[in-house]
Amino acid sequence: MIRASIAAFAFALTGTFPLSAQDWVIDTAASEVTAETRVFGQAVAATFAEFSAEISFDPEDLENAQISARVTSDTGTIPNREYQSALVSRDGLHVAEYSEAVFVSEEIVATDEGYEARGTLTIKGESRGAVLPFTVEINNGRAVAQGSLEIVRAEFGVGGSSWAEVAPTVTVRLHIEADAE
């Protein structure tokens, strides 16, 4: 149940970006997208195997920075079979009808802790404003970013009457490694 929310937010990045910012190619083998929640008070995490990304980011040119992320919903896995079934079910991510979760930034701004990508998150056909705080270290043409976003699963239609023991929120965690194009 909560797994579905987690899977929904998992992501991949896709888009078209201005030429002035640095474009990055995600190293999917070194990157990870997970969603975490609590069921019956116990931590439950889904890992998404498929995501793609196009990122245009230069800390010196945030005006032209952009992220478009996409995660393939049915690639989310949870070790518990019952939770796995709930994740992909109609009440969960409903992967038969909604194959991906998408985040598209409208702006990226610097903060005291790092950066925020502010934009729109779409899960199960429901779009909401979202803010993704992240940090990034860039060395020798390699960027390593860490971020997390907490979402309220009901806002995206994830959950049903049998989900009473699932926490109302899901935290999507990202570890993204990318190389400069």
Which residues form the domain of 78? Answer: 2-180
One-letter identity of residue 65: A
Torsion of CA 133, 28, 72, 181, to 10 degrees: 80
- The phi-psi region of residue 163 (left if phi > 0; otherwise alpha if psi is between -120 and 50; otherwise beta) is alpha
Residue 94 has, within 13 A of its CA and on its CB side, a CA count of: 13
Element (H, E) at 5: helix 2-9
Q: Phi and psi for 50 in degrees, rounded to 5? A: -120, 125
The one-digit pLDDT tens for each residue of the chain (181 residues) are 333 333 333 333 333 333 457 999 999 999 999 999 999 999 999 999 999 988 999 999 999 999 999 999 999 999 999 999 999 999 999 999 999 999 999 999 999 999 999 999 999 999 999 999 999 999 999 999 999 999 999 999 999 889 999 999 999 999 999 999 9
CATH number at residue 121: 2.40.128.110
Residue 20 is predicted with a pLDDT of 54
Rounded to two decimals, the pTM is 0.87
Helices (H), strands (E): how many in the chain? Answer: 2, 11
Number of domains forming the structure of the chain? 1
